Structure 1
Amino acid sequence: MVELSRADLHVSVWDPVATSMNFLNEVAGRYPDAISLAAGRPYDGFYSVDDVERYLRIYLDHLRAEGRTEEQVRGMLLQYGRTNGQLGALIARMLDVDHGVQVPAESVMVTAGCQEAMVIALRALCAGPDDVLLAVEPCYVGMTGAARILGVEVVPVPEGADGLDPATVTAVARRVRAAGKRPRALYVVPNFANPSGVSMPVPTRRRLLEVAAEQDLLVFEDDPYGLFGLDDEPHPTLKSLDVNGSVVYLGSFAKSCFPGARVGFLVADQVVVDDAGRRTLLAEEMSAIKSMLTVNTSPIAQAVIGGVLVESGCSLRAANRDKIEFYRHNLRTLLTALEEHFPPAERERHGVRWNVPSGGFFVVVEVPFPADEKLLQVSAERHGVLWTPMSFFYQDGGHHALRLSCSYLEPDRIREGVRRLSRLITETA
C-alpha cells in the first residue's frame, strides 16, 4: 500500500486548531453523559422533520403564484440552477425588512453554508501572496481555517471589552503595509461574537467603517447571532451603516432556520470595473469561484429556506420569536448560575471572572490555571461537563480562559453543567 508523509500534506490537514476541535468531538463521544457547555449549535427542540415538507410546499406555491409553470417549478427544484442561487430577491427583501439594508438581488449569492461564503470572499479578494486578512482575535475558527486552506495570511487584531478598537485596526494595517504587504480585508463579528460574546457599540461601528475607508479595507461582516439579543434594542449591522461600500455581508440560516439545510449567503454589492470599462457587481464576479467549488447551492435546500422566508414575510426576526425568547432565557440562566456558584467572595478567592454579553450564545470565563485539552479531559471524566478552551480561537493566547455555550441545552441542564464546572474550578484553583 502507498504510504504518504504527513509533512508532505497541506498544513490544513494537520492544522492544530482543526485537530483540537476534533479532539473536542472525540471527548464528547467518549463521555456521552457529560453535559456539553461546549456545543454552539442550535437547540434541537425547535426542529421537526415535518417542517421540511411544509416549507417546501410553501415555496413551491410561491413560485406558482409568481406565474411559474409546472415545468419551470420542476426545473427550479430538481435541476442545476443559477450559480448564485434563486433566493436573491427574498434575501434582499429580508435584509430590508429586518436590517434596513437595501441591496439589489443581483448582489446576493446563496452559498452552501456561510463557510462557503467565507472561502469565496477570501479567494476573490486576496489575489496575491502579499494580500493579508486582518481578523478580530479571538476569532471564529471557520474563518481562520478557510484562510489556512487558501494559503492567505491572517494577522490578528486584538479585541477589547467593546470589540475592536478602530485605532488598533489602523495601527495593525499600517504595520502590515510597513512590512511590504497589503491588508486587503478585515473580518469581524459585531454582534455577540463567537467566541467572546462581545458586541460593538454603535459609535465604534461608525468609526470602524471610517477607518476601513481610510485604510482601503473591505470589511467581512459575519452576523449569525444578531437576532438573539437579551432585549429588543436594535443592533445595526455594519452593512446598514456603510456609506462607502466597504462591507461584504456574510449571512447564515443555520441559527435562524436550521443548520441541516446548509444554506448561507453573502452580499457583495461593490462595483467591479474591468480594463474595458465594463461594470459588474462583485457578487457576479465571485460566481466563477462558486461554480468551481459547488456548481450551485442545492435548489432543494434553497426551496426549504425560501419557504421560511415566504411564510414569515421575509422577516427572520418574526420567524424566530420563540427562538429569541428561548436563547435569551438560556443566556440569563447561564449568567445567573455563574453568579450563584461564584458569589463575589468565592470569585475573588478562586480568581475567577467572566464577561456579561448582551446577547448571543457564549460567555467567556477566565480562570487562574491553564484551561487546556488536558484539563478538558479531566473535566469530562471526573465532573461530566464539557467546555471549549479559548486557546482554540487564538494564534497564541487565551490559555487561561474557557468558552461556555448556552444554546443547545434546556435551562436545568445549563444549571447542572455550571454546578459541575464549579467543582472542577474549585478543585483546580
Structure 2
Amino acid sequence: MVKREEHAARPRPVGNPVQLVKEAMHASVSDPVAASMNFLNEVAGRFPDAISLAAGRPYEGFYDIADITRYLDVYVAYLGDQGSTPEQIRRALMQYGRTNGQIHGLIARMLAVDEDIHVPAEAISVTAGCQEAMIMALRGLCAGPDDVLLAAEPCYVGITGAARVLNIDVVPVPEGPDGLDPARVAEVARAVRAQGRHPRALYLVPDFSNPSGRCLDLPARHALLDVAAAEDLLILEDDPYGLFGLDDRPRPRLKSLDRDQRVIYLGSFAKSCFPGARIGFLVADQTVVDATGNRTLLAEELSAIKSMVTVNTSPIAQAVVGGLLVESGCSLKAANVDKIAFYRQNMLRLLDALDRHLPAPWRDAVGISWNVPAGGFFAVVDVPIPADEKLLEVSASRHGVLWTPMSFFYTDGGTRSLRLSCSGLDPDTLEEGVRRLAALLRDSIA
C-alpha cells in the first residue's frame, strides 16, 4: 500500500496546459484605462524612491493599528447598550449577516447629522467599498443593451470600469470650467434618445471631483435636478471628498436637495475612516412597484444583486466603522477634524508650491496653467507638451516624481494635462515633489 505522503510527492505527468486567447476574453480584461493604471503602478514599482503626486490615497500618518480594536470595542459596547446579549453580539460579528448590512441605522443618523439627508435606514445598503455600490446600482438600473449611463467627463475610472465589466455603454458629458453644465446634460440625453437608446442615469462627483477637482455651485445643483426630472434621469451622486473643502461654507449634497427621489447617493468610509476597512454604502430610497402592485425600496431590490456578488459585507469591518460612528456621535465631520485641516493645508501647499516653482511670467509665456480647486485631493495642470506615458517614464526615471496623465480619464482628450494629488504626502515631501515636477517641465519644454 502506497503511503499518502509518497503518493503526494510523485511528480505530476506533463500534460497539455490550457492556453487562453486574450482576444476571446471579455473586453474588461483588456480595458485600456486599466492597462494605463497598471502602467502607472509598474512605473511606481520600478522607481520606488520617486515621490508620488499620482496616488489619491489618504495620508497614512492618521492611522494606528490600535484604532481597529478601539472602534471594535466601542461598537460591541454599543450593541450591549442596545440590549443585545453576548450570544447575539458574537453572532452579529462572526456569522453571515443581513445582506444590506447592520450599521445602516448609524449611517442614516450620520447622513441626517452631517448632510441634512433624511432617509429610512432600510434605504441604505452597506457595501464592500463604494465600488460594489456602483456595480449594484448600474446592474439594477441598466437592464437592456440600449440602456446607457451618462457620466461627467473627465471621469473617475472606477465607474467606467464597472460599466465595462457589465457591458453598459458610457456616454460622456464634458465638464466646463465650472463643472458639469446642466444644459449640456439635457443636450446629451436628448441626443442619446434620438439614437434609439435609453439614458438611464447620470454619474458625477459634485464636490471636488476626481480627477478635475471641480465643484458645482448651488444654482447648478438645482438646475441639474430640474434637468433630471425633465429628462427622466436618475442621478448617481458619488461623494468621497465632500468633507474636505478649503472652507466651511455649506455645500448641500444633491441628495439633500432631492425632492423627487431622483438621486442615488454613493458614499465611502475610505477617506474618512481608512481604506482597508473596505466599507461603502448606497442610499436608494426610490420606490419600486412590481406587476402586482407590491411596493418596495430600491435598496431592498438591489440586495438581490449584492447577495450574488459578496453575499454580505464583512460584519467585522462594519463593526470597526460602526465604532467610529458611535464614538463621534454619528458625525464624520466631528471624527475628521484633524484630517480636514491636514488636507486643506496640503491643497494650499500644493497650489502655493506650483506658484513658486513655476513662476509667472515664465509659465504664462510657455503656456502652463492650473485650476484652483475649492477642496478635495486633486488639481489639474495644463502644459504645452504631451503629458503621456512617455513623459511619465522620463519623469520617474530622471526626476523622481510621479503624476497621472489626464488622458486616463477621457474617452478622447486630456493629452496635455496632468493630475496632481496632494493627499498622501507630508507637506515637505509634497513641496519637493512639486519642485521635481517643475524641473521636469522646464527641461522638457526647453
In structure 2, what is the Cα distance between the partners aligned to 1:151 and 1:334?
39
In structure 1, what is the Cα distance between the partners aligned to 2:125 and 2:305?
11
Offset of 1:350 from its aligned partner?
2.0
Partner of 1:103: 119
Partner of 1:247: 263
How is 1:119-198 mapped onto 2 (pairs within 5 angstroms)?
A: 119-198=135-214
Query: Which of 255, 277, 280 is the matching residue for 1:261?
Result: 277
- The answer as to 2:314 corresponding to 1:298 is yes
Partner of 1:378: 394
How is 1:5-404 mapped onto 2 (pairs within 5 angstroms)?
A: 5-404=21-420
How far does the alpha carbon of each residue in 1:38-96 deviate from its partner, in whole angstroms, 9 at most, with x for none?
Answer: 01000000001110000000000000000001111001000000000001110000000
Give the residue type in structure 2 aligned to 1:319. Answer: A
Give the residue type in structure 1 aligned to 2:335. Answer: A
Give the residue type in structure 1 aligned to 2:437. Answer: L
In structure 2, what is the Cα distance between the partners aligned to 1:222 and 1:364?
20
In structure 2, what is the Cα distance between the partners aligned to 1:42 and 1:366?
24
Give the residue type in structure 1 aligned to 2:382. Answer: E
In structure 2, what is the Cα distance between the partners aligned to 1:41 and 1:233?
25
Give the residue type in structure 2 aligned to 1:15. Answer: D
Offset of 1:344 from its aligned partner?
2.0
In structure 2, what is the Cα distance between the partners aligned to 1:370 and 1:144?
24
Unaligned runs of 5+ in 1: none
- What SS does the corresponding residue of 1:248 show, helix, strand or coil? strand
Give the residue type in structure 2 aligned to 1:135. Answer: A
- What SS does the corresponding residue of 1:95 show, helix, strand or coil? helix
- What SS does the corresponding residue of 1:154 show, helix, strand or coil? strand
In structure 2, what is the Cα distance between the partners aligned to 1:8 and 1:86?
41
How far does the alpha carbon of each residue in 1:190-240 deviate from its partner, in whole angstroms, 9 at most, with x for none?
Answer: 000000000000100000000001000000000000000001111110000
In structure 2, what is the Cα distance between the partners aligned to 1:191 and 1:87?
25
How far does the alpha carbon of each residue in 1:330-384 deviate from its partner, in whole angstroms, 9 at most, with x for none?
Answer: 0000000000012220111221000000000000000011101111000000000
In structure 1, what is the Cα distance between the partners aligned to 2:169 and 2:30?
17
In structure 1, what is the Cα distance between the partners aligned to 2:331 and 2:20?
51
Contact 1:107 1:282 in 2 (8 A): yes
Max Rg structure: 2
Contact 1:55 1:308 in 2 (8 A): yes
Partner of 2:11: none
User: Runs of at least 4 residues of structure 1 off by over 6 A?
Assistant: none
Partner of 1:428: 444
In structure 2, what is the Cα distance between the partners aligned to 1:344 and 1:357?
19
Contact 1:12 1:149 in 2 (8 A): yes
Contact 1:55 1:307 in 2 (8 A): yes
Offset of 1:162 from its aligned partner?
1.2
- The answer as to 2:24 corresponding to 1:4 is no
Identical residues among aligned pairs (%): 69
Report the TM-score when normalising by structure 2.
0.96
Offset of 1:14 from its aligned partner?
1.0
Give the residue type in structure 2 aligned to 1:385. Answer: V
Contact 1:272 1:281 in 2 (8 A): yes
Offset of 1:4 from its aligned partner?
1.1
Number of equivalences: 429
Contact 1:118 1:146 in 2 (8 A): yes
- What SS does the corresponding residue of 1:38 show, helix, strand or coil? coil
In structure 2, what is the Cα distance between the partners aligned to 1:217 and 1:417?
42
Unaligned runs of 5+ in 2: 1-16
Give the residue type in structure 2 aligned to 1:139. Answer: C
| Cα RMSD (Å) | 0.5
- What SS does the corresponding residue of 1:121 show, helix, strand or coil? helix
Give the residue type in structure 1 aligned to 2:235. Answer: V
Contact 1:350 1:426 in 2 (8 A): no
- What SS does the corresponding residue of 2:221 show, helix, strand or coil? helix
In structure 2, what is the Cα distance between the partners aligned to 1:257 and 1:236?
22
In structure 2, what is the Cα distance between the partners aligned to 1:211 and 1:113?
29
